[in-house]
């Protein structure tokens, strides 16, 4: 595994830990969503890196759907079962402000991110 992939995985874990720490604080909803989205972005980029795939470096590099498409288009079918994380994309900006009626149940999404983390771990064991 490259140093870059390892760094991404460690940072993703930090983001996930921070999101979990503030999960019950309704005032921190956007921050929790941002940290969950950031964890997903970093896990997806780590998967790309481990597979030697180029991912977008511009704004599209923050789009979880675009990152998943890179993996899907390169025959990594296992990523398709993690499509729920795409819904976190609107949170993936420091300027995100999600209206109360549009908010996701972030406790549910912690589970989705944990599942993505498990997939990354499985891929590491295959290296």
Q: How far apart are CA 41 and CA 44, in angstroms?
A: 5
pLDDT per residue, tens digit, the chain (127 aa), is 789 999 999 999 999 999 999 999 999 999 999 999 999 999 999 999 999 999 998 888 899 999 999 999 999 989 999 999 999 999 998 888 999 999 999 999 999 999 999 999 999 888 7
Q: How far apart are CA 8 and CA 41, in angstroms?
A: 9
Instruction: Report pLDDT for 43.
Output: 98
State how many domains the chain has: 1
pTM exceeding the 0.75 threshold for the entire prediction? yes
CATH number at residue 105: 1.20.120.330
| SS3 label, residue 92 | coil
Q: Which domain holds residue 34?
A: 3-126
Report in angstroms the alpha-carbon separations of 9 from 40, 71, 97, 102. Answer: 10, 17, 26, 29
């Amino acid at each position: 595994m490259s140093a870059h992939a390892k760094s991404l995985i460690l940072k993703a874990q930090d983001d996930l830990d921070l999101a979990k720490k503030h999960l019950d604080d309704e005032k921190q909803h956007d921050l929790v969503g941002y940290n969950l989205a950031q964890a997903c972005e970093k896990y997806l980029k780590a998967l790309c890196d481990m597979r030697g795939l180029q991912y977008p470096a511009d704004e599209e590099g923050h789009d979880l759907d675009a990152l998943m498409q890179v993996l899907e288009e390169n025959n990594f079918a296992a990523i398709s079962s993690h499509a729920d994380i795409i819904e976190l994309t609107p949170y993936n900006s420091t300027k995100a402000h999600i209206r109360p009626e549009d908010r996701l149940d972030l406790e549910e999404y912690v589970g989705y991110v944990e599942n993505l983390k498990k997939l990354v771990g499985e891929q590491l064991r295959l290296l």
